Structure 1
């Protein structure tokens, strides 16, 4: 099989994402990555000396994209639409969030540390958590959300909803819609909808 001589960093990151989602951290290797890029392993070593630095740079790249989209989003002043925007954005990057959590856990278990690397994960965590907290607290104060439910619990449920294990076969966009529906309206049908249903 012929080998391509050149590939872009974007190609490298795209295949890294694909393989991590497919095989997980433990089975991810430069050999496997080289096969999918149709290049030699030596070509990848010109960019990175180990897989941890590659994965970290890939996640940093994706998280910076998330932050840029977050900061440039025209947030609606309508509470429900703002809620929809928030969920959709979180779930658009659900793979990255899950991979980041997995990666950091693996490094912790193995006792590894990445030296001289920007901890974009912590920055992202603080910004998103701060935004959700401000949104929920303000919504409770204005009477949009139930004040009887502790704000920290609502904040945690929204922030960590992206980590719910997916066995539904739905797309991230579809999952965002349904999880938002569950959090906003629960799982029981309203009396109005019951009355609208035809009798069996």
Structure 2
């Protein structure tokens, strides 16, 4: 009979996410991870073979969560959908920071890491395609100005959730404020 796990895979990935966000991929290592979990470092290897697998799995988990939520957004009202999508992104505001280290993972060291990174890349492309689709629909309906090139609207929208919440308001309120600024601009009329 196997030994009882001292922590779940979910807990392992939660700690991994926190440490990678705090120290970056290069500063993250398995010894550090084991220092933040109960039990011996060898317990980590019951879940993942190496650093690459753990971090890639963490990235996959985060983007999967976002992807699952935005996939359920009702796109019949483009502006409402854009607002809902932004609220989801604000909830996971560290997504870009975490995924920024994906190119540092040597997928040659692990087939599992390579699969997870491929999933992350495909999910990111799908999320971008959804955003493009919604913005195009909003422009065609006259809800967004057509003189702004699509890449500008997409790029600024994707980076809204990287804006630090210096007001420390709840995420729903913060996403609404960001959305209103994006739609209306900062200049009064």
Segments of 5+ residues of structure 2 without an aligned counterpart are: none
Report the RMSD for the aligned CA atoms in angstroms: 2.4
Paired residues for 1:5-44 under 5 Å = 6-44=6-44
CA pair 172-26 structure 1, distance change in 2 beyond 3 A: farther
- Partner of 1:26, secondary structure, is helix
The question of whether the paired residues in 1 share the 8 Å contact of 2:131 and 2:154 is answered with: yes
- Partner of 2:161, secondary structure, is helix
Report how far residue 106 of structure 1 moved. 2.7
Report how far residue 169 of structure 1 moved. 6.5
Report how far residue 175 of structure 1 moved. 4.2
State how many pairs are aligned.
180
Segments of 5+ residues of structure 1 without an aligned counterpart are: 191-200
For 2:76 and 2:36, how far apart are their aligned partners in 1? 45
TM-score, reference length from structure 2: 0.81
For 2:78 and 2:31, how far apart are their aligned partners in 1? 49
**Deviation digits for residues 82-131 of structure 1 (CA, Å, limit 9, x no counterpart):** 22101111222222332011x22433xxxx33443221222112211111
- Partner of 2:107, secondary structure, is coil
Larger Rg, first or second structure (1 or 2) = 1
**For residue 175 of structure 2, what is the aligned residue in structure 1?**
176
For 1:69 and 1:161, how far apart are their aligned partners in 2? 18
**Deviation digits for residues 20-78 of structure 1 (CA, Å, limit 9, x no counterpart):** 222222222222222211221111123223211100011112222222222233x2634
TM-score, reference length from structure 1: 0.77
For 2:170 and 2:143, how far apart are their aligned partners in 1? 26
